[in-house]
Structure 1
Amino acid sequence: MFSPDGRTLATAGSDRTVRLWDAATGAARATLAGHTAEVLWLAFSPDGKALATSSSDRTVRLWDMPSGTHLNTLRGHSHGVGSVAFSPDGRTLVTGSGDRTVRLWDVQTGAARATMGGHTAEVWSVAFSPDGRTLATGSRDTTVRLWNIPARTTRATLRHNGGVTSVAFSPDGRTLATGSQDAGLRLWDVVTGRNDALLSGHLGAVFTVAFSPDGRTLASGGVDETVVLWDPGSQTTRTMLHGHTDRVGSVAFSPDGRRLASACLDRTVRLWAMDNGFTRLPMSGHTDVARAVSFSPDGRTLATASRDTTARLWDVATGTPRAPMTGHKSWVQAIAFSPDGRTLATAGYDSSVRIWDVATGKHRATLPHTGPVFAVAFHPDGRMLATGSASSQEPLLLWDLATGKPRPLSGGHKDSITSLAFSRDGRILATGSTDETARLWNVATGKSFATLARHASAVDAVAFSPDGRTVATGSRDNTARLWDVATGRNRATLTGHWGWVLSVAFSPDGRTLATGSNDTTVGVWDVATGKERVTVPEFDSVTSVAFSPDGRTLAAAGFDSTVKLWDAVLLGPSAAAGAICRAVGRDLTEPERSAYLHGGSGGRVCPPP
């Protein structure tokens, strides 16, 4: 869990210790020892000056921050203490225990102010209302109790048909959300105790609920391996987020509401961009699937290709489209700008490539093929165009744009060419194919010198890193891979998508890879570690992704016929760890710890807050 100022990360683990880390560098600052059993839960006080930790050893410990000095040990529970929370004013600590009781403690003195009984089974969750006057507790006994804190009495008992796993107040304190083993997510009027809504959508137990900071979105996670986003106002489902492969045990919003973190028993944490980072409204105009996107070299224009047989040019700043470019007689599959930005090439399922004048939108030339064309790429010097097709005779061609004459590259793939990319220096061409391989070609000789053959299905996407040392591939086997160009070695396999990876794109600095998938998400990956930083729910199949030349914007095209733009100032590895821990407070696995806290050692990294 992060301190309120975000500078310190506190973690707890089964080694009975709490560790303090520098959030900026990931360096270990201190180890807090004293508990005699696993540390289960921790929480910072609102002012960040104290840390409370609870344990299976039946105690709660208070620590001074940032010195890490032990202040007090709170004793009284007869079973492990599984939940702890500070009141909004920081003066009171509440604990829930396996002994079926809830206790209130004076933070200053460590004295127990009250022991509140009533639950007939373990207390699983506790939460203060924003004004601190009401406490909600959820229990395995299938009830939620609302407590009047000044009177220390139960003022309402709310009932589920199964154990209550999670409780959360809306930011205005008027609504309580509860999740239960009965597969129900309920909304309650805090004043009257009335059940205002039963939200149905999960296929099994709901383990976690959380409101966004503005109260407009409610997130829940469950045994059905999904995260569901709800509109609490209309009491309707907004969307379901897929990707986890086991029960989702925790969800939480970042303080700014722009990220949702979900933790799962599949040993993963996912960060979802809740506002999608939209810099503008979606670009709408195509009437069928938007198949490809490409930024002009100056970043001011976005080109799109669609199955509606047209290509379009858009003003990136305003989102305004120019007149559609028509002429293809079937789907437009791919699109690319020339290096000087003056020429556009489009690939069509009608077995043709068309060349266009960007300034006027006029058609200049048609390059005929003997099969549907799936890919186009300009050579960095602008004099040559590579095209990939389903032609059984010459699927890979290099065209001299001055003469309009093609040079075939043969002796390589055994099936259709789906994707193309030149290295920045223009010496190497990478190709992907439905033959389940990618290949590297020497452009000068026209010979293939490496076959990248680890995918288990068609390779639909290829991209070079800016330094030319790495090639990324995306496949219908639901993975992306990173390859060393010099050796042809597969150095990383990026797993997380549960659908075909249809597009890959490096950021201009080469540190980030974006992947688009028909699982309806965009994945954002750290190239150095191969770890996923953020999953962006696109809400429809993603066919193409591209970074702007300055790296500040990420564009994605989808099956909903639109193109969307995101702020691409993305989280780095240590910042991603911070966001996860601040939002979720769930322990990271060893691989995740290595990725997010380089140089850290031992113990858990992200315990529950």
Structure 2
Amino acid sequence: MAEFLHDAKRFILKNLQIADDAPLQIYCSGLIFAPRNAIVRRQFQSEFPDWICQLPQTEETWSSELQTLEGHSNWVLSVTFSPDGAVLASSSADKTVRLWNATTGALQQTLVGHSDWAPSVVFSPDGAVLASGSFDNTVCLWDTATGALQQTLEGHSDSVLSVAFSSDSVLLASGSSDKTVRLWDTATGALQHTLEGHSDSLWSVAFSPKGAVLASGSSDKTVCLWNTATGTLHHILEGHSDSVSSVAFSPDGAVLASGSFDNTVCLWDTATGALQQTLEGHSDSVWSVAFSSKDVLLASGSSDKTVRLWDTATGALQHTLEGHSRSVSSVAFSPDGALLASGSYDKTVCIWDTAISAQQTLEGHLRSIWSISFSPDGALLASGSSDKTVRLWDTAIGKLQQTLSGHSDAIWSVAFSPNSTLLASGSDDKTVRLWDIATGALQHTLEGHSDSVLSVTFSPKGALLASGSFDNTVCLWDIATGTLEQTLSGHSDSIWSVAFSPDSTLLASGSDDKTVRLWDIATGALQLTLEGHSDSVRSVAFSPEGALLASGSRDKAVRLWNTTTGVLQQIISVSGSVTYLKFDQDGLYLVTNLGFFDVKPGRENLSSSSDNARQEIFVEEEWVKVNRKNTLWLPPGSRPSWSAINGNLLALGHASGRISFVGFCT
């Protein structure tokens, strides 16, 4: 029974966010995305919704992640627990500070007062006051009981990037882009000392446990240790090769940890200033470091989207926590060390159980997925990633079939040939590669672009391949020989999408220059320049008979053009950027990443039409919509960076590198 109750608690915490708004959806979502061996999932297996025909693969057991807190409208830049561990505070680029119940994740208060980003927040040791630093050059002191603004400390001439209280709550330190640290009397707000010595911006400040020493980390690549009573400089710690973004003292004050943009964490002896260890493992900048209360663990958050837990005695990596979809900007342990909070550029706060070591065991890419595409027969899905590989998945069982390696940089685009025998991939390495799908063998490496290849597509009969690039050109390639046939020049900015007409006489290209261009494939001559979009054109597609061309843009509109005259036929307003679109086989509606849209004025909506076998399925923010209704809520860790639909099968490509398939019954 105890094990079941623990399992049920994890189930509830994972799904509390929509419990009030959508209780039925939370139940379905919780069961579908629960780990395979979770007791709750096994106990209620008979209750799985009958409208789901293919379940996504999930982990075997619960991961370390307990909850994801959503509410900020911009990057979360700092997180901190109250001294009693009951409240979690987060500050954000949305200019607010939010207070959350650390147990339930419920939002308690939103503190509004700063006029610019708030990159740092900290509780006083007695928990009565919360301090926040801001890009508006000020520090705000808040009453944690009422949320009232008590004081605004002014004096810095540039952004305040970090704040910290002394152990007795008497002093507050603020580090700024003006290259100084200021020490303030918290009772009166009077300035006590201005500490000068750094030659660049101050990213982080931290008091030693007894408050006698202050550490500051700077863009000048150094850490300074200061006497807080006199304001004198004790030590300058040198060793990092890039900006020092974060500093933290161990609970006994003997060790100082510093995180840096050089991707490392350094551990220093605070008495002598000697470098003890350098912890390496992150693949990108380290933004934040924090010690647990027991001196055993050190946490580091990084731009590589992970949190890492280190054994401070040996320097060994204990765990890698994955769940955020963007840079981890801040980490903080609860007072008892049982929980870890992380804030991210993905606008969320994650709460982790530090005792659970289960890691992601699902097959997938090592880094973010940038492109996914179904084969024409629907049997395979290809995914391209920033890990430099293409992976092929069996859509019937959701299993990885092959990993295609060879590119030397991230992959922007993947496309199948019409007969599903070849796959093309375009990359940041400036090449297009052609792969034999049956064997995984590389057939050709197509070289000719001078910058990243953003889009690839085959002609309807598979004889030609078109590629669009950051170099503002389109290249046409002979598939059989791999030779470059033509280079189409004319766009003044990057080309994000290319498409052949059904009869292969025309090629359309959409660009960051806000135009669509139509080219004669035989001669390479420019036929038409279609102008009207007010932002980058990210997708283009011809209608089945070739009379219409659809273009989707970041300007939240789809435009339909006559391909003979270039006349604008129709404008469809949408809710966001259209990165994917195609016509249905009858040319009656458009399938996009934002839903299905009628292209014949006066037609009934698809969801109310007589074609009941065909469902409208798409992803909008945290929901999978079926026939335009919120049907399946996607927990934060299951939301895609890319998605694709083939019939009633939805493929989700995740920032973690994982692929999920969800099949909907007709």
TM-score (norm 1): 0.49
Higher relative contact order (CA 8 A, sep 6+): 1
TM-score by length of 2: 0.45
